Amino acid sequence: MVIAFIVLSCKNETKDNGKLKVVTTTTMITDLVKNIGGDVIEVNGLMGAGVDPHLYKASEGDVSKLHGADIIFYNGLHLEGKLVEVFEKMERQNKTQVPLAESLDENTLIGSEYFASNYDPHVWFDIQYFKQFAEKVTSVLSETDPLNAETFQRNNQMYIEKLEALEMEIKAAIATLPKEKRILVTAHDAFNYFGKAYDFEVVGLQGLSTATEAGVQDVQRLSEFIIDKEVKAIFVESSVPRRTIEALQAAVLSKGAAVTIGGSLYSDALGNEGTEEGTYIGMFKYNVNTILNSLR
């Protein structure tokens, strides 16, 4: 009994280390905030690898993490559709909440009737927008924790340089694939910003949110498109069940044509923590390599 008591009180002491407590939602945002904040802040990401943010519901543990946070960074534009209510409740507590995608210029966003926000929320697939996320995170952290502002700004500068190098590298790689082969067919419409920024025609089977299932008609229509355009490969996503894309492949095969499954792309979540694909930059390179190798 006594031992348990000591353990508990020790735990509490180490927890309150005076560092700014930041809670993030998706793995992309968690990686970004860790890059900017370094070890002078404490970052708690709610979602892990392979987790679908459209369907994610807050657990009791999440709610207490959110209550204890100084700042909450999330994507917004209704990406985290089932967390909206929780965030609204938090608003009444005067907590700093930052929906990063909602700080972008909405005139440049892709419209969508499927989201309550009226915009496609998958903005992180345009590296220019992710750079703006980095700037926003840096300014919010600096305002809240001015003693560490210099650290945040230095980290941001280094990270922005890496993002710029990433964009140059992937643009050069994509330029080697002939334009007529740049057709990206995936399980759900997560890649519209990627297509717009890096010159791919993008078609998703399931619509913009995984919350709506693909119908038989969608599968038939898309299988004809694949045959017509001679698309070589289609892609599954790490955070969406494989069966939707397998049904599409089966429909193409049943018409006497062929299409392969080109591999699994990271769409709404990064890979496992501690791996290359567990970072935004590693994920982006992995996706582009997978797409180019399969469509070439």
* Residues near Zn ion, by CB under 5 A: 190, 268
CB of residue 208 to Zn ion, shortest distance in Å: 7
Tokens of 2: 């006594």
Give the nearest distance from C-beta 121 to Zn ion in angstroms.
7
Q: Return the number of the residue (141 or 187) whose C-beta is nearest Zn ion.
A: 187
Rounded Cα–Cα distance for residues 170 and 175 (Å): 9
Nearest to Zn ion of 207, 263 (CB atom): 207
Q: Write phi, then psi, for 137 (nearest 5 degrees).
A: -60, -45
Residues 6+ apart with CB under 8 A from 293: 262, 263
Burial profile 246-272: b = 16 or more Cβ within 10 angstroms, e = fewer = eebbebbeeeeeebeebbbbbbbbbbe
**Burial (CB count within 10 angstroms: exposed 0-12, middle 13-18, buried 19+), residue 169:** middle
Closest CA to 111 of 77, 84, 86: 77
Nearer to Zn ion, 51 or 222 (CB): 51
Choose between 268 and 277: whose C-beta lies nearer to Zn ion.
268
Contact 100, 92 (CB under 8 A): no
Are 145 and 123 in contact, with CB atoms under 8 Å apart?
A: no
Tell me the residue ranges of DSSP E strands in 111-241. Answer: 183-186, 201-204, 233-237
Give min distance, CB of 25 to Zn ion, in A: 13
Nearer to Zn ion, 51 or 72 (CB): 51
> In this complex, which beta carbon is closest to Zn ion, that of residue 190 or of residue 236?
190
Nearest to 173 by CA among 67, 266, 296, 41: 296
User: What's the CA gap between 23 and 73, in Å, rounded?
Assistant: 6
**Least spacing, CB of residue 209 vs Zn ion, in Å:** 6
Question: Please, which residue, 31 or 268, has the CB nearer to Zn ion?
Answer: 268
Residue 29 Cβ vs Zn ion, minimum distance, rounded to whole Å? 14
Shortest approach of Zn ion to residue 226 CB, angstroms? 21
Minimum distance of Zn ion from residue 190's CB (angstroms): 4
Q: Which residue has the tokens 């990063």?
A: 100
Q: How far is the CB of 145 from Zn ion (least distance, A)?
A: 32
Q: Is residue 36 a contact partner of residue 152, using CB atoms and an 8 Å limit?
A: yes
Backbone angles phi, psi at 44, to 5 degrees: -120, 105
Nearer to Zn ion, 31 or 145 (CB): 31
